[in-house]
Chains A and B, each alone.
Chain A
Amino acid sequence: MSRRGLATLLVLITVVAVATAIRFGAEPLTSRDVLAAFRGGGSAGARYIVLDFRLPRALLACLIGGGLALAGATFQALLRNPLAEPYILGISGGAAAGAVGVLALGWVTAASWTLPAAAFAGALLAILLVFSVAAAADRALDVRVLLLAGVVVGAFFSAVIALILSMSEARTVRGAVLWMMGSLAAADWQAVTMVAAYTVPAALVLLGLARSLNLLAIGEETASYLGTDVERVKLVAYGVASLITAAGVAVAGVIGFVGLIVPHGVRLLVGSDYRALLPLSFLAGAAFLTFADLLARVVLAPAEIPIGVVTAFVGVPLFLVLLRRSLTR
């Protein structure tokens, strides 16, 4: 498929995804109700559902889905490892430890911002820990050390979570487990603003580094020989991709699979040139997570399925089809 064709298609799919996510939900609204809400008419209840519930939730899904896909693609180049995903360096572990900590302490009811704040702080702590270990040798980031330190720091936070949960009541455990499987239920305009404030500038920085990421995916020595300031690019790309992930995980918990399979799906369609891969992965991730969240909301409505379950249920078959197609072509 041509890059321009896929880009057009993905923009269309994203728009359709957002429109569908606004149109459908647990509360039965007609298209007329939705359009009236956008014009400022209709019932106050419908206006609230459309403008303050479904719209911010769809936008949040776009930002987080796109951000995770972008971060996953970046880590894959940085670590030269196709199995890399946004959480590979322990960010999910740190965020979850922070979230589970405040859940166990019963602080969540005090103010709505404590959970995301604690998750974000945990993610930042994990990033700083991994980074300081990986940069210990000669202030250069060693990618192998980065990977090892990330896995080990993640394991440590898993142990912290297990310890806290083993001492908590059943209700807290259930809340914590659901949080760790991811959900966009906390979406509101404040969350959209917070995630956008990290994701939009970060996405622009990463797009500007696309050529350097192409080179780093081949090797750091080659990247230097082709004019890249390797240590600076690694530092910026690692920091920026980590912040995108941390902002997303703080608001929506750990949403698996998007950051791994979306970039690979796009790779199978248009190849691995990061100048195309990054923007297309952002669009594909946005559309994918918006649809996944719609399914999470409507399949068992009014109950919600964890979005991580949907991303795996939908993403895995989709990815296997793409993989099979690329092998038989």
Chain B
Amino acid sequence: MSFRATDLRVRYAGAASPALDGVSMSVPEGALYAILGPNGSGKSTLMRTLMGILRPESGGVWIEDRRVERWDRRELARAVGAVPQSEAMAFPLSVRELVAMGRYPHLGPLSAEGAQDREAVDRALDRCDVAHLRERPVTSLSGGEVQRVRIARALAQEPRSLVLDEPTASLDIRHEMAILGLLRQSADGGMTVLVITHHLDLAGRFADRLLLLDQGRVVSEGEPRDVLQADILSRVYGWPVAVDVNPITGAPRITPLNAGPPPPP
């Protein structure tokens, strides 16, 4: 599946400046595409707009050459698995119950889960290494475990694309690498994967293309070594960084420097 956005302008009610200001982007089918940018730069807003739950003032979003508003929400949920940054866990659902919600878009209004649904849930639990937690209440899990369970729910949707907002934010290195490996593998298998992340090094190492946002605008877009430039990153993040090549992985290596903030632009 491909995603395309042209000249998106999104403004929250009562906000002085737009959250997205003329963003255009294009994600080819089968790419692992990372969206980067400082806090408040519009990454999550871009995700919600791409998924059609925020309406832009101007511009448009196309998923597989169809405008996102023209997708039925259930049909979209069968095609794209999306996981927002955080969710309320007000009531103690079990891990299995939460992951099984990924099957809802596939079920008729009155039909129960079938064998195929149960297999999809089991596979998703295994792939995210949470099968041993299946009967535990979600409210009793650690932050990293909850994160893996939510990704498992998106996989249980058996979608053709994934859109994830900071999926590895609270994971330890083993599970972070496992999830990123899983996303890379999914993209290699033809799935389109969009990931919002703050891990510049890992984005550069795993993603095919990067989009760098700042204050609702696209600063640069392209292959990792073109986007991860020291001068651009220092300016956008307001902190001096050095970029070289990681001798072990061969990917760009970003090192935040100790010096004080750079002079104002």
Chain A positions near chain B (C-beta within 8 angstroms): 76, 80-82, 137-138, 208, 211, 214-215, 217-219, 221-222, 224-229, 267, 271-273
A273 to B113, CA, bound (A): 14
> A80, A227, A271: which contacts B73 (Cβ < 8 A)?
A227
Instruction: Say yes or no: A227 contacts B51, CB within 8 Å.
Output: no
Given A218-B87, A226-B101, A229-B73, CB of A271 within 8 Å of CB of B82: no
State in angstroms the CA–CA spacing of A224 and B81 once bound together: 11
Flag if A219 contacts B53 (CB, 8 Å).
no
Least CB separation from A228: chain B residue: B73
Interface residues in B44-92 (C-beta closer than 8 Å to A): 48, 51, 53, 73-78, 80-84, 86-92
Which stretch in B29-37, B102-110, B197-205, B244-252 binds the other chain?
A: B102-110
Q: Which residues of A contact B92 (CB under 8 A)?
A: 267, 271-272
Known contacts being A81-B90, A271-B92, A272-B93, is A211 close to B104, with CB within 8 Å? yes
With A138-B13, A224-B73, A273-B93 already in contact, the answer to whether A80 and B88 are too (CB < 8 A) is yes
One of B13, B88, B94, B109 near A218 (C-beta < 8 A):
B88
| A208-B109, A273-B97 known; A225+B90 contact, CB < 8 A | no
Instruction: Out of A208, A215, A229, name the residue touching B104 (CB < 8 Å).
Output: A215
Closest approach, in angstroms, between the C-beta of B87 and any C-beta of chain A? 4
User: Are A218 and B89 touching (Cβ within 8 A)?
Assistant: yes
Contacts of B81 in A (CB 8 A): 225
Q: 9 interchain pairs (CB within 8 A)?
A: A137-B13, A138-B13, A218-B101, A219-B84, A222-B83, A224-B51, A226-B157, A227-B105, A271-B97
Which residues of B have CB within 8 Å of A225? 51, 53, 77, 80-84
For A138, the chain B residues whose CB sits under 8 A away are 13
Which chain A residue lies CB-closest to B84?
Answer: A221
* Interface of B (DSSP majority class): mixed
Q: A224-B73, A225-B84, A226-B104 are in contact. Are A80 and B90 (CB under 8 A)?
A: yes
Q: Is the beta-carbon distance between B87 and A219 smaller than 8 angstroms?
A: yes
Chain B: which residue is nearest A137 at the CB level? B13
Residues of B within 8 A of A226 (CB): 77, 101-102, 104-105, 157
B101 and A214 contact, CB distance less than 8 A: yes
Shortest Cβ distance from A84 into chain B, in angstroms?
10
In the complex, which residues of chain B have a beta carbon less than 8 angstroms from the beta carbon of A224? 51, 53, 73
7 additional contacts, CB 8 Å, given A82-B91, A218-B101, A227-B104? A138-B13, A217-B91, A225-B82, A225-B83, A225-B84, A227-B73, A267-B91
State A194–B80 Cα separation when bound (angstroms): 46
Q: Do the beta carbons of B77 and A227 come within 8 Å of each other?
A: yes
Residues from chain A with Cβ under 8 Å of B87 in the complex: 218-219, 221-222
Ranked 7 nearest A-B pairs via Cβ: A227-B77, A227-B74, A272-B91, A227-B105, A225-B82, A221-B84, A219-B87
Nearest CB of chain A from residue B75's CB, rounded to whole Å: 8
In the complex, A170→B91 CA distance in Å? 45
With a CB–CB cut-off of 8 A, which chain A residues contact B107?
211
B111 smallest CB distance to A (angstroms): 11
Contacts of A76 in B (CB 8 A): 90-91
CB distance from B139 to the nearest CB of A (A): 10
Task: Find the B residue at minimum CB distance from A208.
Answer: B109
CB distance from B86 to the nearest CB of A (A): 8
- Known contacts A211-B104, A224-B73: A271-B94 contact under CB 8 Å: yes
Given A137-B13, A138-B13, A208-B109 in contact, is the A219-B97 Cβ separation under 8 Å?
no
Contact partners of B109 in chain A: CB under 8 A = 208
- Nearest neighbor of B139 in chain A, beta-carbon distance: A272
Cα separation A284 to B15 with both chains bound (whole Å): 47
CA distance A75 to B236 in the complex (A): 44
Complex-state Cα separation, A208 to B93, whole angstroms: 20
For A218, list chain B residues within 8 Å (CB).
87-89, 98, 101
Distance in angstroms between the alpha carbons of A280 and B149 in the assembled complex: 27
Inter-chain contacts of B73 with A (CB < 8 A):
224, 227-229
Which one of B80, B88, B107 has the greatest number of beta carbons of chain A within 10 Å?
A: B88
**A219 — which chain B residues lie within 8 A by C-beta?**
84, 86-88
Chain A residues contacting B102 (CB-CB under 8 Å) are: 226
**Bound state CA distance, A288 and B80, in angstroms?**
44
B50 to chain A, nearest CB (A): 11
Which single residue of chain A is at the shortest CB-CB distance from B14?
Answer: A137
Residue of B nearest to A275 (CB): B112
> In residues 193-230 of chain B, which contact A (Cβ within 8 Å)?
none
> Chain A residues with Cβ under 8 A from B101's Cβ?
211, 214-215, 218, 226
- Chain A residues with CB below 8 A from B76, complex form: 227
Contacting residues, chain B, for A208 (C-beta < 8 A):
109
Please tell me if the beta carbons of B93 and A271 are within 8 angstroms of each other in the complex. yes
Contacts of A80 in B (CB 8 A): 88, 90
CA distance A218 to B75 in the complex (A): 21
Nearest CB in chain A: distance from B255 CB, A: 35
Most chain B CB inside 10 Å of its own CB: which residue of A76, A81, A215, A221: A221
User: A222 contacts B84, CB within 8 Å?
Assistant: yes
Residue ID in chain A nearest B78 by CB atoms: A227
Residues on B with beta carbons closer than 8 Å to the beta carbon of A273: 93, 97
With both chains docked as a complex, state the minimum distance between the C-beta of B265 and any C-beta of chain A, in angstroms.
34
- Kindly report which residue of chain A lies nearest to residue B52, judged by CB atoms: A224
